[in-house]
Chain A
Amino acid sequence: MIPTAYFLVLSAVLFVMGTVGFLVKKDLITQFMCVEVMLNAANLAFIAFAHSASSLNGQIIVFFIITVAAAEAAVGLAIILLVYKQRKTVKSEDISLMKG
């Protein structure tokens, strides 16, 4: 059996990749994909813990997260699409209306 720690390390690596990607990439679509990676890193950690604890709870939560993520992806992509329609760009630096 593969030890739980391996899963957790993989989860952490994925999470860091997602975070760094979100911070360094300029394209909104890429950033959005990075967020998805972070989300799935968390899912992986959940499953790993659920498996080691022989509990179904973690796995059920993962199902919920996947459902919510699907909905969130739909909303997020729609927003990005509208931003593009309006401003003809998906570069996150160009979208700074909230500047104080």
Chain B
Amino acid sequence: MSDIFWLIPLIPALSTLILAVFGDRLPKKYISFQACGAVFVSFLISLYSFIGLLNISPEQYPVVKNLFTWIHSGNFQANLSFQFDPLTAVMTLVVTAVGFLIHVYSIGYMAEDRSYSRFFTLMNLFTFSMLILVMASNIVLMFVGWEGVGFCSYMLIGFWFEKHSAANAGKKAFIVNRIGDAGFLIGIMFIIVSIGSTEFANINHAVAGGSLSPGLVTLIALLLFVGATGKSAQIPLYVWLPDAMEGPTPVSALIHAATMVTAGVYMVARLNVFYTMSEAAGFIVALIGAITAVYAATMALTQNDIKRVLAYSTISQIGYMFIGCGVGAFAAGIFHLYTHAFFKSLLFLAAGSVMHALSGELDMRKMGGLKKYMPYTYPTFLIGAIAIAGVPFLSGFFSKDAILTAAFANGQYVIWALGLSGAVLTAFYMFRLIFLTFHGKERIQPEAKKHLHESPSVMTVPLSILAFFSVVAGYAGLPVVLGKNVNWFQNFLSPLMHPGHEAHLNLTTEWLLIGVSIVVALGGIWIAYLFYLRNPQIPHRIAARFPFLYKLLVHKYYVDEAYDTVFVKPAIKGSEFVYQKFDLNVIDGAVNKTAAGSGWLGKTLSYLQTGLIKDYALVFLLGTIILLGLLIF
């Protein structure tokens, strides 16, 4: 295959440069055209490279294109080099395809914004960083992309920085990510020290060959996973993602649903050999994923902010991806990443369309009955919700089922049960969202009602395309019950995955598991129907019956408050103390005292200046005599 794929990240980079320099002077039409066009060209090249990849044999993976040596110091070497293999192909296609649709949607969504060019500059910069992340052939370059997407995330969450909450949310996201990144960075250093190479191919080879002690493998795996919990919003570092909803909705869809937050999953899958070699690390990944999946889903139950429900849902779904990676079913995890990218960005964009229609309203208590006003948004939203709920024949069903089956097959029954209960909750909160927003009584504010309108077609067309993919994307990876080799997706990725302990179930069990999944999904939807359409009094009664539980959920388990008390407040207090004692006294004191000393010295020495010409002449003469004396004797 041709190695033209190195252009994939560079085209958005070029577009970013042009927009950053000339953006303010260019007409909006041109900005939209260039920003979307750049991502679309990247998509076409990805597609071309993907087709090229299908035509070569798995022994030739990965195709590496080395541009130049970036760092060379002693034994350490890092290249600016890109690679293309099935995992990269899936990621670049998802990033550029979903990214392109979201860029197009943004033309409509951001049309009235006065920082139009800044928005598209950052979106293109994000696409560039994300592509660097997924295409890097060594872990150091991957880290560059990793930090690049973090930066863009920060800039875009705080896009409306005049709003205090948005600026704070950006800061929070950045700082929480730093904590994870510290772990990731230490992990990278361990890899460099113990393996001596940064290339993924060499790392995989060294670890699979057993040249590292098992303890070291576990340590590195867990350190890398710390980075993943930060970027992918897992327990305990998930707190930034709900707040990140302060950013514009296309940003939430692109960065905080489809691409960046799944970078942790990509990283774990890319370095899957660590997690298959170390069973303990794999188990911890699966456990954290499972707990997060249920925990975040419970928090989504009581939220009234439409975007926050989706944010918790994202956290929960990424938990599923980690379950897949943790139990050794990396292909299933990536499969869920891929289907999730479609239906979750669809849900976010549709939610954005609802907000757009209601002049920026986010509170579901002030919606209801929108079905008849939004003939395009409603069906697409519904498709997204059905897909994520795990109803058969839509993409979410296939991917979630693949993960749960893999967990069950590996004997991780606790994790399987957690995942299953998460699935009920998912179906429930998604349909709660649908019923509260689109069905039932109209509770729209009169002010918003006046401007109520369906979104322009530049927004609804991307919604329809995403809805189409939310339905069909799952058919790339059909479950094994339908035939031996129908899971094309897994076969495509399998050459990259370190062969672990693969367990197989007999077909009856598989069918049984699928049946349970279906029952669970439909059950969740039915409960939501019962609670929010048939008898809207039930939720209030339950809340009144278990006030403690309800309060706990509404306040999101008081985790933000706890972090505030345990970490943030002491940090602020400590900084305050250091500022008062050390900064003001020692550092500022030193500077001020130096200045005062110079002033005093100047004042004192100025008495020597008498202003009388004779005195100067006398000193001049004495000086000459002394110099002459020194010269002669």
Q: Considering the complex, which residues of chain A in the window 1-59 have a beta carbon less than 8 Å from any beta carbon of chain B?
A: 19, 22-23, 31
The answer, among B609, B614, B617, B618, for a CB contact under 8 Å with A100, is: B609
A97 within 8 Å of B by Cβ?
yes
Beta-carbon contact of B607 and A100 below 8 Å: yes
Residue B599 lies at the interface, judged by CB distance under 8 Å to chain A: no
B606 contacts chain A at the CB level, 8 A cutoff: yes
- B608 contacts A by Cβ under 8 Å: yes
Neighbouring A residues of B21 by C-beta, 8 Å: none
Expressed in whole angstroms, the minimum distance between the Cβ of B585 and any Cβ of chain A is 34
Closest chain B residue, CB of each to CB of A96: B611
Query: Closest B-chain residue to A31, C-beta based?
Result: B613
> How far, in angstroms, from A82 to B541 measured CA to CA in the complex?
103
Q: Check B614–A99 contact: CB distance below 8 A.
A: no
Is the pair A98, B609 in contact by a Cβ cutoff of 8 Å? yes
A100 and B606 form a contact (CB under 8 A):
yes
- B589-629 interface code vs A (CB 8 A; 1 in, 0 out): 00000000000000001111111111001100100000000
CB of A97 within 8 A of CB of B611, answer yes
Offer 11 A-B interface pairs, CB within 8 angstroms, sorted by A: A23-B614, A23-B618, A92-B613, A96-B610, A96-B611, A96-B612, A97-B611, A99-B611, A99-B612, A100-B606, A100-B609
Chain A residue numbers with a CB within 8 Å of B618 are 23
Candidates A22, A23, A31, A98; contact of B611 at CB < 8 Å: A98
Nearest-neighbour CB distance to chain A for B604, whole angstroms, equals 10
Please name the 3 residue pairs, one residue from A and one from B, whose CB atoms are nearest each other, closest first.
Answer: A96-B611, A100-B606, A99-B611
Assembled-state Cα–Cα distance A95/B610 (Å): 11
Chain A residues with CB below 8 A from B613, complex form = 31, 92, 95
CA distance A31 to B617 in the complex (A): 11
Is the beta-carbon distance between B617 and A22 smaller than 8 angstroms? yes
The distance in angstroms between the C-alpha atoms of A36 and B605, with both chains bound, is 32
Cβ contact within 8 Å between B612 and A93: yes
Per-position 1/0 for A62-100, Cβ under 8 A of B: 000000000000000000000000000000110111111
> Cβ of A100: which chain B residues have Cβ within 8 Å of it?
605-611
Interface centre among B608, B610, B614 (most CB of A within 10 A): B614
Which residues of A sit under 8 angstroms from B614, Cβ to Cβ? 22-23, 92-93
Q: CB within 8 A of A99: which of B605, B609, B621?
A: B609
**A64: min CB distance to chain B, Å:** 22
Tell me the smallest distance from the CB of A24 to a CB of chain B, in Å.
8
A22 CA / B612 CA spacing, docked (Å): 12
Residues of chain A within 8 A (CB-CB) of B617 are: 22-23
Shortest Cβ gap from B563 to chain A (Å):
62
Q: A22-B614, A22-B617, A96-B611 are in contact. List 8 more A-B contacts (CB 8 A).
A: A19-B621, A92-B613, A93-B614, A95-B613, A99-B611, A99-B612, A100-B605, A100-B610
Chain B residue nearest in CB terms to A94 = B612
Specify which chain B residues have a CB less than 8 angstroms from the CB of A98 in the assembled complex.
609, 611
Residue from B605, B606, B608, B612 whose CB has the most chain A CB atoms within 10 Å: B612
* Chain B proximity of A38: nearest CB distance (Å): 11
Residues 7-40 of chain B, each 1 if its beta carbon lies under 8 Å from chain A, else 0: 0000000000000000000000000000000000
> How far is it, in angstroms, between the C-alpha of A92 and the C-alpha of B607 when the chains are bound?
19
Question: Residue of B at shortest CB range from A97?
Answer: B611
User: Which residues does chain A contribute within 8 Å of B610, judged by CB atoms?
Assistant: 96, 99-100
Q: Which residue of A lies closest to B608 (CB)?
A: A100
A10 to B469, CA, bound (A): 112
Minimum distance in angstroms from B601 CB to a CB of chain A: 13
Q: Which residues of B contact A96 (CB under 8 A)?
A: 610-612
Q: How far is the CA of A92 from the CA of B613 in the complex (A)?
A: 7
Q: How far is the CA of A98 from the CA of B609 in the complex (A)?
A: 7
Q: Give chain B residues whose Cβ lies under 8 Å from the Cβ of A19.
A: 621
Chain A contacts of B607 at CB under 8 A? 100
For residue B97, give the distance in angstroms from its CB to the closest CB of chain A: 78
Expressed in whole angstroms, the minimum distance between the Cβ of B39 and any Cβ of chain A is 70
A19 to B622, CA, bound (A): 12
> In the complex the two chains form, what is the Cα distance from A83 to B28 in whole Å?
70
Residues B612 and A92 in contact, CB atoms below 8 Å apart: yes
B607, B617, B621: most-surrounded residue (chain A CB, <10 A): B617
Q: How far is the CA of A31 from the CA of B605 in the complex (A)?
A: 28
Residues of A within 8 Å of B605, CB to CB, are 100
Q: Which partner residue on chain A sits nearest B606 by CB separation? A: A100
Complex Cα distance A96/B611, Å? Answer: 4
Interface residues in B557-614 (C-beta closer than 8 Å to A): 605-614
Chain A residues, CB < 8 A from B612:
92-93, 96, 99
Q: Give the distance in Å from the alpha carbon of A23 to the alpha carbon of B611 in the complex.
A: 15
How many Å lie between the Cα of A51 and that of B612 in the bound state?
Answer: 40
Q: How far is the CA of A88 from the CA of B397 in the complex (A)?
A: 106
Give A22 to B606 CA distance when docked, in angstroms.
24
> CA of A19 to CA of B609 in the docked complex: distance in angstroms?
21
Bound together, the chains give a CA A93 to CA B608 distance in angstroms of 16
A94 → chain B closest CB, angstroms: 10
How far, in angstroms, from A19 to B606 measured CA to CA in the complex? Answer: 26
Q: Report the nearest A residue to B609, measured CB to CB.
A: A100
Closest to A20 in B: B621
Residues in A whose Cβ lies below 8 Å from that of B621: 19, 23
Return the chain A residue nearest B612 by Cβ. Answer: A96
Report how far A93 CA is from B617 CA in the complex, Å: 13
Q: Which residues of chain B come closer than 8 Å to A23, judged between CB atoms?
A: 614, 617-618, 621
With A and B bound together, what is the CA distance between A10 and B607 in angstroms? Answer: 39
Taking the closest CB of chain B, its distance from the CB of A65, in whole angstroms, is 18
Q: Which residue of A lies closest to B603 (CB)?
A: A100
Residue of B nearest to A99 (CB): B611
Closest residue of A by beta carbon distance from B610: A99
Chain B positions within 8 Å of A99 at CB level: 609-612
Q: Which residues of chain A come closer than 8 Å to B606, judged between CB atoms?
A: 100
Q: For the complex, what is the distance from the CA of A97 to the CA of B606, rounded to whole Å?
A: 13
* B65 CB to nearest A CB, Å: 72
Contact with A along B306-348 (1 / 0, CB 8 A): 0000000000000000000000000000000000000000000
B608 partner residues in chain A, CB cutoff 8 A: 100
| Complex interface: chain B residues within 8 A of A92 (CB) | 612-614
A93 to B606, CA, bound (A): 18
Bound CA–CA A100/B621 (angstroms): 21
